[in-house]
Amino acid sequence: MKILFTVQRYGIEIAGGAEQHCRWLAESLHRRGHEVHVVTSRAADYMTWADHFDDDEEVINGVLVHRFPVEKERDIGLFNRVATQIDFHNHTTPISLEKLWLREQGPSLIGARTWLRTRGFQFDVAIPFTYLYATSQIATDSLHGLVPIVMHATAHDEYPFYMRLIGRELDQVTEFLCSTPEEADLLQNRLSGRARTNTVGIGVELAEPSDRNSILRTLGIPEDPYFVVLGRIDPSKGVDSAAKMFQAWRALRMSNVNLLAIGGRSVEFEHLDLGDGVYSTGFVDEVTKSSLLHGCVGLIQPSPYESFSLALCEAWLAGRPSLATASSEVLVGQTRRSGGGLLYGNESEFHDGLTQITDDPARAREMGRSGQSYVKDNFITDVVVSRIEMVLERVVSRFMPTEQPQTEI
């Protein structure tokens, strides 16, 4: 098949969840013999959308990436002011204000609509990644009726998901690839059962680990026991509140256990002091990430907005237990299905979970083994990609175009 992905950012150094997920799937499908293209922005920073990459086209691990400049950088102050004026749930906000929010959300790409309308028909199927950004809106508007659209919406229960214009975007999708049953249920409820959803999961892989203590010394971090928070250090990810609760637990216990925040920082957190016993590593390579996961006491997942927690599964694949917020139905579902960890709903339960993991190593090992078996049974790359291929082949075989392809003038 000839497959077209659209995503807001794309590159080896892009560590965001949806972007990393997109690159994993694009490269996996290429390795299975498919011709894979990606339409994306030149941006590396999702807060500003500032052009970063210079080349219009680039081949990354066999995938042909088409980059377009952004129409304008994001003014985060204006974006936040617009967001405060929107009634996301009750649909009383004028459509013009929703359009303004979506425009300020970005990234809108110069020339992307024309490219998609004049070349999209050459592809067998399009896979927009994550419903939230303008790249998916551009793709659904330009390709609807021309090729089947199989979206990886990465949907979760957040305010923008309920906007009317987002509903129109989702209505243009042929079928959805979902990472968890909870995401599939959310889409079905949002679209009144009209959505054709396929729960396929995400492939989980870890590099071969190297010496943990050597890495800690290189990073300037004490060689004491530590928990890990994995992913982008961002206000929406709950890392700041988890760090504060961790410090309170550490002080009460007079413990030498540290917390490592592994991942790049957003602009708001660029100069944030996470406090005593909490260390920020910044972006790390795959070997370093794997080594730190294999060597940790456990993983903390405080993010309330997830369609699938890759961090949980990576920790479980490394045989480590988890402690996740119960405010996310997705995290609750993943944790309960796997048996790989504990859940917390408040600070007291957070402290209790840390204590159980540190004071009962036998139980911690048992949870780690249970999580590891769950990931190996369900989320090894070949298993997941085979599921996705079956969906794509079925959708392509049944699709009948309703729009005529356009040609470049």
Judge whether 256 and 275 are in contact, CB under 8 Å. Answer: no
Q: Which domains does the chain have, with CATH numbers?
A: 2-203+381-398 (3.40.50.2000), 212-378 (3.40.50.2000)
Sheet architecture: strand order including 57-60:
57-60, 63-68, 35-41, 2-6, 125-128
Query: How confident is the model at residue 269, as a pLDDT?
Result: 52
Confidence of residue 398 (pLDDT cuts 50, 70, 90): very high
- What's residue 240's pLDDT? 85
User: Distance between CA 20 and CA 11 in Å, rounded?
Assistant: 8
Which band of pLDDT confidence, cut at 50, 70 and 90, is reported for residue 405? confident
pLDDT confidence of residue 266? 56
Find out whether 290 and 206 touch, Cβ atoms under 8 Å.
Answer: yes
Cβ proximity of 121 and 405 under 8 Å: yes
Quick one: DSSP state of residue 97? Answer: H
Q: CA 243 to CA 277: how far, in whole Å?
A: 9
**Which of 293-311 are b and which e, b meaning 16 or more Cβ less than 10 Å from the residue's Cβ?**
bbbbbbbbbbbbebbbbbb
302: helix, coil or strand? coil
Mean pLDDT across the chain, nearest whole number?
91
Please report, in angstroms and rounded to a whole number, the separation of the first and last CA atoms in the chain.
Answer: 27
pLDDT band at residue 225 using 50, 70 and 90 as cut-offs: very high
Return the CA Rg of the chain: 21
Reported as a single tens digit per residue, the pLDDT across 119-171 is: 999 999 999 999 999 999 999 999 999 999 999 999 988 888 988 899 999 99
* CB burial readout 133-154, b (16+ within 10 A) else e: bbbbbbbbebbbebbbbbbbbb
Per the CB < 8 A criterion, the answer to whether 301 and 277 are in contact is no
pLDDT score for 27: 97
Nearest partner of 130 among 226, 260, 9, judged by Cα: 9
E strand intervals along 55-139: 57-60, 63-68, 125-128
Give percent of the chain with pLDDT exceeding 70. 96
Confidence of residue 321 (pLDDT cuts 50, 70, 90): very high
Backbone phi, psi, residue 177, to 5°: -95, 125
- Is it the case that residue 402 has pLDDT exceeding 90? no
Q: Which of 384, 350, 408 is nearest to 229 (CA)?
A: 350
- Cα separation, 303 vs 217, whole angstroms: 28
Q: Are 299 and 229 in contact (CB under 8 A)?
A: yes
Q: Which residues contact 212 (CB under 8 A, 6 or more apart)?
A: 291, 292, 294, 295
Rounded to an integer, the average pLDDT of 201-208 is 92
The residue ranking higher by pLDDT, 34 or 205, is: 34
Query: pLDDT-derived band of residue 387, with 50, 70 and 90 as boundaries?
Result: very high
What angle, rounded to 10 degrees, do the helices at 95-105 and 134-143 form? Answer: 110
pTM comes to: 0.82
The residue among 173, 165, 180, 164 whose CA lies nearest residue 194 is: 173
Condensed to tens digits (0 to 9), the pLDDT of residues 7-30 reads 999 998 887 678 989 999 999 999
Closest CA to 15 of 238, 227, 237: 237
Q: Each residue of 249-259: pLDDT tens digit?
A: 999 999 999 99
Distance between CA atoms of residues 292 and 286, nearest Å: 10
The first and second tokens of residue 406, run together, are 């356009």
Strand 63-68 and strand 57-60: pairing?
A: antiparallel
Confidence (pLDDT) at 16 = 67
